[in-house]
Amino acid sequence: MSQTAFSTLPLGDALVANLASLGYHSMTPIQAQSLPLMLAGKDVIAQGKTGSGKTAAFGLGLLHRLEVKKFRIQALVLCPTRELADQVATEIRKLARAVHNIKVLTLCGGMPFGPQVGSLEHGAHIIVGTPGRVADHLDRGTMRLDHLNCLVLDEADRMLDMGFQDVIDGIIQRAPGNRQTLLFSATFPDQIEAVARRILVDPVRVTVEGGHSQASIAQRFHLVADDAQRRQAVQLLLQQYQPESAVVFCNTKRETQDLADSLAAKGFSALALHGDLEQKDRDQTLVSFANRSTTVLVATDVAARGLDIDALDLVVNYQLAHDPEVHVHRIGRTGRAGSKGLACTLFSPKDGQRLLALEEYLQLRVEENPLPPQSLLLQAPYQAVMSTLQIDAGKRQKLRPGDILGALTAKGGLEGNQVGKIQIAEDWAFVAVSKEAAQRALKQLGQGIKGRNFRARLLR
């Protein structure tokens, strides 16, 4: 039997059987190194990139020690963004589905406070949330951590980047001292080391490579003279490679919004993602990008954490990242799941020190590559192949993906291959359709969904 088989771990039979049903047979490197330590009750510091399997690692660790019959908060997972919290909660529920009556509750900002209070009154075993909203519930007395035995800080570096240190300290002060603490981070700046020393007891450190190989990522570096040429360089790269999904990383929120506005004004299908967006706008941006009805996402590093996009065709670094580890994390979003990826980095003559640090970290020599020909600017910008429709109904109205698909493909409607991703939330749903079929799709939905009429519109 493989030493990395989940069945070699002292997990409950139900958890192991469920893992097999999910197709999880062998552990990823981060799981193989950290899970035995977690199951032994150790505090763990784990460094792993996006796609390394860390959510399943700590998810299994906290589920193993959960006492289901004791209906009280036993585990708390803190995440930097609502999107990441939603993903983590979904993964934990999936891992726990063979164990009856486990309740996982998500507490995030941008959502109504009242329903969360009601859910807390009914009790929960595991809380997954953002620091600000969790702290709000603790301050108002709507949640207590008296029985907490496991605290997880996921994407700890980004939470500190977002200014959550004092909030996290306040949460930890209300947690029992005799708990297990698990800290996961893609990068380990000095600030993280300081936090780890304060809140963990005799921790064991685990460091593994991410879920992708840098060998599968082609890196190109392009010299630009000024900001005007930098913006133009992004247009040239997009026109040259015409990616269905590309992320352009910027270092500041203002830079992010300005570049997205500039690309949109030139006719590209581009949206910005940064911390100043309203939650509704952020949700729509992420859905539009995931549905491939937006081809270019211009984002800050913090805002892009928790992006659930499996295969990016292109990553562009608008500016060099401040830290070489962040550079590696950025480019690691392309070239995953066995596919080839491309990462293009723009730099200026002022970036000498950062380039030297990056060369030393990556153990490579940066060679300047020519930008694509200027003639590409004379061509009309390429367009997204999909459009996204929003329907003003969701789970609360008992709407299911099959209902939407059925309405779209009913007599005289769309072909099945013209319908893409369907997402359903509490009171709304999004569906991707081929761009050329968008108006026909609206007409189909206007005829009703399973005999009921809901408003549907094109998401711009």
Supply the pLDDT for residue 195.
85
Burial class of residue 433 in the structure, from the number of CB atoms within 10 Å of its CB (0-12 exposed, 13-18 middle, 19+ buried):
buried
Kindly report the three-state secondary structure assignment for every residue of 195-230. HHHHHCCCCEEEECCCCCCHHHEEEEEEECCCHHHH
Write the pLDDT tens digit of every residue in 410-439: 888 899 889 998 988 888 899 999 999 999
Q: What percent of the chain has pLDDT over 70?
A: 95
pTM of the predicted model as reported, rounded to 2 decimal places: 0.69
Q: Cβ(359)–Cβ(365) under 8 Å? A: yes
Q: Considering Cα of 17, then 22, then 26, then 28, what sign does the dihedral take?
A: negative
Domain extents in the chain = 6-207, 214-378, 386-458
Supply the pLDDT for residue 260.
96
Q: Cβ(188)–Cβ(219) under 8 Å? A: no
| Residue matched to tokens 């100043």 | 276
When pLDDT is averaged across residues 276-297 and rounded to a whole number, the result is 88
Rounded Cα distance between 377 and 179, Å, is: 58
CATH class of the region 214-378: alpha beta
Supply the pLDDT for residue 50.
60
Supply the pLDDT for residue 185.
85
Domains 6-207 and 386-458 share a fold: no
CATH class of the region 6-207: alpha beta
Supply the pLDDT for residue 74.
97
Supply the pLDDT for residue 212.
46
Q: Cβ(108)–Cβ(85) under 8 Å? A: yes
Return phi, psi of residue 398, to 5°. 65, 30
Rounded Cα distance between 407 and 395, Å, is: 17
Domain at 386-458: CATH architecture: 2-Layer Sandwich (3.30)
Supply the pLDDT for residue 311.
67
Write the pLDDT tens digit of every residue in 49-94: 666 788 999 999 999 989 989 899 999 999 988 888 988 999 999 9
Supply the pLDDT for residue 92.
94
Q: What is the DSSP string of 319-337?
A: S--SSHHHHHHHHTTBS-T
Does residue 284 have a pLDDT over 50? yes
Does residue 127 have a pLDDT over 80? yes
Rounded Cα distance between 418 and 405, Å, is: 10
Confidence of residue 140 (pLDDT cuts 50, 70, 90): very high
Write the pLDDT tens digit of every residue in 188-246: 777 888 888 889 999 999 987 544 455 578 899 999 999 999 999 999 999 999 999 99
Map residue 270 onto helix, strand or coil.
strand
Supply the pLDDT for residue 51.
64
The tokens for 197 are 């020393």
